[in-house]
Amino acid sequence: PVGGDILFIETSRTPGSGKLILTGHLGDVMKESAQAALTLAKARSASLGIDPGIFEKSDIHMHIPAGAIPKDGPSAGVAMFTSLASLVLDRPVRHDVAMTGEISLRGLVLPVGGIKEKVLAALRAGITTVLVPARNRRDVDEIPADARAQLRFHFLETVDDALQHAIGMAPPVADAAAPLA
């Protein structure tokens, strides 16, 4: 319930009619996270430089392999969004990065439980960079010092932060001509 293992997220796109296909023995909350990730990717398509029509002309298949092991919870939201963005931007996610965090429809990365267990699982898997919600910063202190010393941590406020560290995408620059409120 609070982690302790890593999940891989595979995402592919085929010609279709805009369906989201989810496989991998996912619970309801994880399915909702995948839908939120797709909605957020669609909403941000212009700022990401993605043709919004790509989602209407394609079926997106997201698979979280691990046999029949049930998987649920919101913690994979940021990874699901990053996987979708990686797919449609054709930019691979770095192989040495793991991430956790729930996402909002506004692109915020929200805190999750089990940070210590998730980070230690990432370290066991050979991960060197971990992306954690900024609101979980204090939870990192619970991780043994020797483990923390082997990892680079980046704290996420938004999904843009995740894209920066996972696929090397610069955060969007605010429109200089836009009036300040």
Closest CA to 153 of 121, 125, 119, 124: 119
* Torsion-angle region of 66 (φ positive above 0: left; ψ -120 to 50: alpha; else: beta): left
**123 and 141 Cβ atoms separated by less than 8 Å:** no
> Could you confirm whether 118 is annotated as catalytic?
yes
> Could you confirm whether 104 is annotated as catalytic?
no
The residue from 33, 83, 86, 118 that is catalytic is: 118
The residue from 33, 58, 75, 83 that is catalytic is: 75
Residues labelled catalytic: 75, 118
